[in-house]
Structure 1
Amino acid sequence: MNRSVDRAIDIIELATQNRGGVSLRDILIKTGMPKSSAFDIVRSLVKRNILREIPGKTTLYAPGRQLYFMGNSYPESLPILKILIDRLQETAEATHYNTYAGVLENDELVYAYKYKPKKSILTAAGLGDKKPLHCTALGKVLVSFQKPDECRRLIASLPLSRLTNYTITDREEFSREIQECFDRGYALDIRENDDHTFCVSAPVLNNEGVAEMAVSLSYIYSENISLEKEIKIIRDIAHELSQTLGYSGPRPGKKQGEE
């Protein structure tokens, strides 16, 4: 990659990782690039509205409006999401649950789409946010429905960090969980990623039966909640989308007599 382009990307990533903004000094320390080069790149990014200046004793640089527009166009660039958006929005408004689509990138879950309905009281993950695979329903589905060799690699190599008391951190237990997700055709995250939430997810499969992405419903955890309705909703959406990708096999985890 061209060095200037590489440096510009490094600066943009720093700005997006520090919501309050990042100073030129911080950019120099964290990237190691020469001051003159960093300053020229920052000025160009500000001029194009990819970054914006936050005046103060020390000038800070934060994501600009053009970067926001570019980020929001990401879902539209994935053909499957053009079909997906209406279903996720419709479902979210009907259930008051947050809905998401996630993809697997560099052994992490990346949120490619999210919709928070008007009546939701749950904080929504942002577009492009990253989460671990092992403690999210979306992530577990994405691992479960990879090709066998890739699935085994992920099970063996993912760091199983503890986020809550319910997070799976034992590798054998994680392996069993992934097999169960595959067998039943969906994944659950019951307070594994956050103490106060649950999530139900199902895979969107391509014509090879590999998860192209995953979709999910999420809401505040309650001890009395029954997830049968939520599981059916998200599996129906995922299966419909899988068919649009050319998947013609049986519904994942399909039970005998189920259509």
Structure 2
Amino acid sequence: MSEQVNSQGSPVPAVARAAALLDVLAAAGGAPLSVSELARQLGLPKSSTANLCLALESERLVVRGDTGYTLGRRLVELGGAYLSTVDQVREFYAACKRAPLISRLTARVAVLEGLDVLYLARYDGAQPIRLTANIGDRFPAHCTATGKVLMAAMPPAALDERLRGRTLAALTERSITDHAQLRAELDRVRELGYGLDDEETTPGVVCVAIAVPGARTDSDTFAISATTVTAGLGGADSVDLEAVRADLEVIAQSLGNPLVVAR
């Protein structure tokens, strides 16, 4: 389908045309496109398109091959520079405010340290009761939804080494204290794609969590969760897990890949 360029409303038409050309190359999925094909899709004269390609090539934004142009490596450099400026905690708060359901709940960001989860951020929604686990607090990972999804994401051998010889403390009567039961629970987490704390950390409190891969190769997987009192949602059996999870997935998308525009 033709990508007709409308640069009349742009104060710098050449920039608008360059951006459109890069979009066309991106949509090609790595397949080289000739000047003629680019001109056709952009709705521009072939001479203008050729000049545009030469200018972009000189800046290493596109690369010319035997059969046409593809995107250049400088775009990776620019993308990496952008990613280094992304504040994931700030984006977490903004994404929580946008989420239809989680904006009314309590949400957190956590990482795994040993067999504990460490909370890095906390968003308090509209619910009147303020729940436990503040920024900087640690909880046993096996009792928490965030801890379960982070342990489930670990290589099995690494998890076995971390659990070897360790006692699983009980925070409530519903906490998992048996290693075999924990491994079965982690299998369930892998199958379903989310973790559930059903009053295992605090009586009357339910939490749902999903894992978020690091946005960069130097950042570890972390977890985001949504928490509420059972009175607010009628207990774990009546919690709309899919609705909560759907909100978490949207937030995770914006955190895990800042290049994706959040809904």
TM-score, normalised by the number of residues in structure 1: 0.58
2:258 is aligned to 244
Amino acid at match of 2:92: L
Work out whether residues 115 and 142 of structure 2, in 8 Å CA contact, stay in contact via their aligned partners in 1: no
Superposition deviation, residue 110 in structure 1: 0.7
Work out whether residues 111 and 117 of structure 2, in 8 Å CA contact, stay in contact via their aligned partners in 1: yes
- Structure 2 counterparts to residues 155-166 of structure 1, below 5 A: 155-166=163-174
CA–CA separation in structure 2 for the residues paired with 1:95 and 1:79: 19
1:216 is aligned to 225
1:122 corresponds, among 116, 130, 134, to: 130
Q: Which runs of 5+ in 2 are unaligned?
A: 1-84
Pair 1:149–1:94, CA change in 2 (3 A): closer
Of structures 1 and 2, the larger Rg is shown by: 2
Pair 1:184–1:84, CA change in 2 (3 A): same
CA–CA separation in structure 2 for the residues paired with 1:80 and 1:146: 22
Superposed CA deviations along residues 47-103 of structure 1, whole A, max 9, x for unmatched, are: xxxxxxxxxxxxxxxxxxxxxxxxxxxxxx984223222112433886421010001
Q: Which runs of 5+ in 1 are unaligned?
A: 1-76, 247-259
Work out whether residues 80 and 245 of structure 1, in 8 Å CA contact, stay in contact via their aligned partners in 2: no
2:94 corresponds, among 64, 67, 86, to: 86
1:232 is aligned to 246
Work out whether residues 134 and 140 of structure 1, in 8 Å CA contact, stay in contact via their aligned partners in 2: yes
Amino acid at match of 1:176: A
**Partner SS for 1:114:** strand
User: What is the percent sequence identity of the aligned residues?
Assistant: 25
Work out whether residues 149 and 210 of structure 2, in 8 Å CA contact, stay in contact via their aligned partners in 1: yes
CA–CA separation in structure 2 for the residues paired with 1:164 and 1:133: 14
Q: Which runs of 4+ in 1 moved over 3 A?
A: 89-95, 154-158
CA–CA separation in structure 2 for the residues paired with 1:135 and 1:194: 9
Pair 1:180–1:93, CA change in 2 (3 A): closer
Amino acid at match of 1:199: C
Name the Cα RMSD after superposition: 2.9
> Does residue 175 of structure 1 match 2:189?
no
CA–CA separation in structure 2 for the residues paired with 1:220 and 1:160: 24
CA–CA separation in structure 2 for the residues paired with 1:163 and 1:81: 28
Would you say how many aligned residue pairs link Structure 1 and Structure 2?
170
Superposition deviation, residue 158 in structure 1: 4.4
- Structure 2 counterparts to residues 34-183 of structure 1, below 5 A: 79-91=87-99, 95-183=103-191
